[in-house]
Chains A and B, each alone.
Chain A
């Protein structure tokens, strides 16, 4: 399993990400730009909540009858003369494709952007075959490949963390002699990749939606590289997560509309293609067509409260609204699936031991749930992960339980609660400081500074920010409210 992008502990990754100011600025710029485009395109479409209902219904239906739809799809691929392989693990999937490349004596392999091929570590396996060359042809993936296979940071914009100077530096090594203008850089990539494309004999694509009743594959792209990957090589392999299925071309069309708007704020992307094995008489397209359907941990979600995560259509909208992603970017998550969807999906695919931190990397603001075009309750699933981790994994929560019990007793007995209100201000005095009030310092009653000493109980808070000191009893809200109410009553009587 290679959805992991880092061996470093979570907090170390977060600290590193926080240092990367260019990445933070890029993510912020991209989130803001995408917000405007996405919301405008949804508004123009109209009835967005009802479209979400329909999107959710389609995805829930296919997940409910997943084995039946996969069987129908597989039958129809075979009717068209294609081959289907069902892979339970990443290793099985990569081995099937690697063996096929060997059998076909593939010399030049072209790939178009696909998260699932990254998930199954396919590139590195294929590169082990002597005499085989491999080229990522999506512009962003090409940049990452030529940068010594750097890891992607976003599921829609994988090279978001690279600036134009870095891209120019990468292309300089390939013989580029121009400036850092993105248009010139893209033209260079076009010419460089075109030469390679025309010699390609083996193509690998992902799959946005697999169409059960016609045995076609739907790909939604903007650059055109996926279509060249499906047109030029004699052999094509489609790699798909087992949940990427829809009943018919009509549901694919509905979801393409929702995906394009949610991912990039377009009504449709430049290319939405519905494609399969070459039909007799056609000159191009794959003569040999293989589909590899991958489980690789997805079935862990089936029959559990996490099943809705399989509804995902990989639009990345949840990343684009997430305040945590805005600060730590893709690398902070340590998974090829970052952001809210990654924080839910990564532990499902690869367990809590590796990704148990991620469900806690959330403010639970629910912006992700609100924007999801297929209504995945992302923030609720994050809370569910926390519950499962605490309960099923029998994590030691005896200390927290005792504290919460004490808090429960204290807050349910008025005598004790009032006593606490009397005591909290003076008791916290030892640890607090009081500075002049200002715009930045709204701690009128004083504060326990971030760097200050604090008992273990509140360390998690004061490690990263100041903790306000509770107000004096005669300055607290209840006291103020009582006085304010009395003053109003007095005014009435006057």
Chain B
């Protein structure tokens, strides 16, 4: 049993200062006065959303590529050849079967390292930090802001998205959503239903950047120096 005396003391004190009794919330839950988060940018077809996503992704310095399931392995090889990396990291996931990439993982060069469940913090972080390129799977792509969203899993950890130098995210066209609200609705429901057990959800909008020195935009600070989104159009 956790001792809550520190908490109770604190909360009683602020309730007293506010002049409002505690435990009133259950009768007054939050009800938003408008539905702008849901309705903004609504009513677009998947083709239109893809076009909006492309425009907004490129505006945040993302390379936006498209392919289909049959061409996915070739598209990835072309991406890797472009940067000629010495090291590559991939997630551990069943999604390779879904995307038809199982064979590709056996032939791709350089030979990939994997973010590996059960191998612990140091092993995985060291690998990710040593990776020139990371290729991962995003859950959704948000058209309005050019954002990919990813929930952390045992096979694709937090550091996977931040430590490598170059980063590519694969995402299905059917998972392009209008805005952050639609993604959040899905995550919120999945967490509450117990379907998603994660400690972390990342909304990533282009490569890291900073304007801290004389307001000059520098792309690539702590996170990857560049980002590519690869949309699989027939999935």
Contacts and interface: CB of A to CB of B under 8 A. Distances in A.
Interface string B22-58: 1111001110111011001000000000000000100
B28 to A, nearest CB: 7
B17 A282 contact: no
Interface in A228-284: 228, 230-232, 234, 242, 247-254, 256-257, 264, 266-279, 281-284
A68 B210 contact: no
Contact of B11 (A67, A225, A254): A67
Nearest to B117: A281
B111 interface: no
A35 interface: no
A366 interface: no
Nearest to B153: A282
A349 interface: no
A257 B144 CA distance: 11
B198 to A, nearest CB: 6
A275 B17 CA distance: 31
A29 interface: yes
Contacts of A303: 17-20
Is the interface on chain B under 10, 10 to 19, 20 to 34, or 35 or more residues?
Answer: 35 or more
A248 B36 contact: no
Interface string B205-232: 1111111111110101111000000000
Contacts of A71: 7, 11, 22
Interface in A55-80: 57-58, 61-62, 64-72, 74, 78, 80
Contacts of A30: 215
Contacts of B157: 231, 282-285
Contacts of B9: 86
A47 B40 contact: yes
B231 to A, nearest CB: 19
Interface in B148-168: 152-154, 157-159, 161-163
A267 B212 contact: no
A167 B222 contact: no
A116 interface: no
B222 A66 contact: no
B70 interface: no
Contact of A249 (B23, B144, B188): B188
Interface in A385-422: none
B69 interface: no
B200 A68 contact: no
B125 A198 contact: yes
A271 B204 contact: yes
A231 B125 contact: yes
B13 interface: yes
Give the one of B185, B207, B216 with max A CB within 10 A.
B216
B115 interface: yes
B201 interface: yes
B212 A86 contact: no
B222 A65 contact: no
Contacts of B22: 67-68, 71
Nearest to A185: B213
A68 B212 contact: no
A222 B56 CA distance: 17
Nearest to A34: B215
Interface stretch (A135-143, A354-362, A427-435, A485-493): A135-143
A249 B188 CA distance: 7
Contacts of A300: 17
A29 B215 CA distance: 9
Contact of B180 (A47, A62, A160, A253): A253
B197 interface: yes
Given A68-B23, A86-B6, A186-B213, A273 B203 contact: yes
Interface in B40-83: 40, 56, 60
A314 interface: no
A299 B16 CA distance: 10
A250 B18 contact: no
Contact of A273 (B28, B202, B215): B202
B7 A86 contact: yes
A157 B199 contact: no
Nearest to B158: A231
Given A57-B33, A186-B221, A282-B152, A270 B205 contact: yes
A54 B36 contact: yes
Contacts of B142: 268
A251 B34 contact: no
Contacts of B116: 283
Given A86-B10, A268-B145, A284-B125, A248 B208 contact: no
Given A270-B209, A273-B201, A224 B17 contact: no
B201 A232 contact: no
A273 B37 contact: no
Give the one of A234, A277, A303, A307 with max B CB within 10 A.
A303
Give the one of B142, B199, B221 with max A CB within 10 A.
B199
Contacts of A64: 20
A46 interface: yes
Contacts of B126: 198
A271 B202 contact: yes
Nearest to A214: B191
A45 B40 contact: yes
Nearest to B123: A283
B14 interface: yes
Interface string B109-125: 00000011101110111
A234 B40 contact: no
Contact of B17 (A45, A248, A302): A302
Given A50-B34, A67-B15, A223-B222, 11 more contacts: A65-B24, A68-B23, A158-B212, A193-B222, A222-B208, A222-B210, A242-B14, A249-B184, A281-B154, A283-B115, A283-B157
28 contacts: A26-B215, A54-B36, A66-B14, A67-B11, A68-B25, A78-B2, A86-B10, A139-B221, A157-B211, A167-B213, A183-B216, A183-B218, A186-B213, A186-B218, A222-B208, A222-B210, A223-B208, A256-B180, A256-B203, A267-B205, A268-B180, A271-B203, A272-B180, A274-B200, A276-B200, A278-B199, A282-B153, A282-B158
Interface of B: 2, 6-7, 9-15, 17-20, 22-25, 28-30, 32-34, 36-37, 40, 56, 60, 115-117, 119-121, 123-126, 129, 142, 144-147, 152-154, 157-159, 161-163, 179-181, 184-185, 187-188, 191, 197-216, 218, 220-223
